[in-house]
Amino acid sequence: MPTRLSVRQMQMMVAIADSGSVSDAAVQLGLTQSALSHRLKEAERLLGAPLFTRGQRRLNPTSAGKRLLHAARGVLAELERAEQDIQRLSGDIERIVRLGVEACGGYHWLPESLAAFAAEDSKIGVEVVPDVSREPLRALRQGHVDLALVAGSHPPTGFEAMALRRDELRLVVPCHHALARHDWVSAEDVAAEPYVAYHTTPEKGREYEQLFSPAGILPTRVISAGVTEAVLALVRCGQGVSILPAWTLTPYLAAGELASVALTERGLYLYWYLVIRQGEPEDSATRQLLRTLHATLGAT
- What is the residue-wise DSSP string for 214-272? HHT---S-EEE--SHHHHHHHHHTTS-BEEEEHHHHHHHHTTSSEEEEEESSS-EEEEE
- Give pLDDT, residue 163: 94
pTM, whole model, 2 decimals?
0.70
DSSP for 24-49?
HHHHHHT--HHHHHHHHHHHHHHHTS
Tell me, what's the pLDDT at 150? 94
CA distance 18 to 3: 24
Our measurement of the distance from residue 279's CA atom to the centroid of its chain's CA atoms, rounded to an integer in Å, reads: 24
**Does the structural domain 97-160+272-297 have CATH classification 3.40.190.10?**
yes
Distances (CA, A) of 28 to 23, 33, 42, 81: 9, 11, 20, 21
What's the pLDDT at 300?
45
Residue 197 · residue 231 · CB < 8 Å: yes
3-state secondary structure of 274: strand
Residue intervals of the chain classified under CATH 1.10.10.10 are 7-85
Task: Tell me the pLDDT tens digit for each residue of 96-152.
Answer: 888 999 988 889 999 999 898 888 877 888 888 877 888 899 889 988 899 999 999
What is the pLDDT, as a whole number, of residue 91? 57
Which overall architecture, per CATH, does domain 165-270 show?
3-Layer(aba) Sandwich (3.40)
Domain with CATH 3.40.190.10 in the chain: 97-160+272-297, 165-270
CATH 1.10.3720.10 is right for the domain spanning 7-85: no
Length reported for the chain: 300
Full pLDDT tens readout for the chain, 300 residues = 678 888 888 899 999 999 999 999 988 888 889 989 999 999 999 999 999 998 878 899 999 999 999 988 888 888 877 776 666 565 565 678 889 999 888 899 999 998 988 888 778 888 888 778 888 998 899 888 999 999 998 899 999 999 999 999 999 999 999 999 999 999 999 999 999 998 877 777 789 999 999 999 999 899 999 889 999 999 999 999 999 999 999 999 988 899 999 999 999 999 999 999 999 999 899 999 999 999 998 854
Q: Three-state DSSP class for 212?
A: helix
**String of b and e for 20-41 (b: at least 16 CB within 10 Å)?**
ebbebbbebbebeeeebeebbe
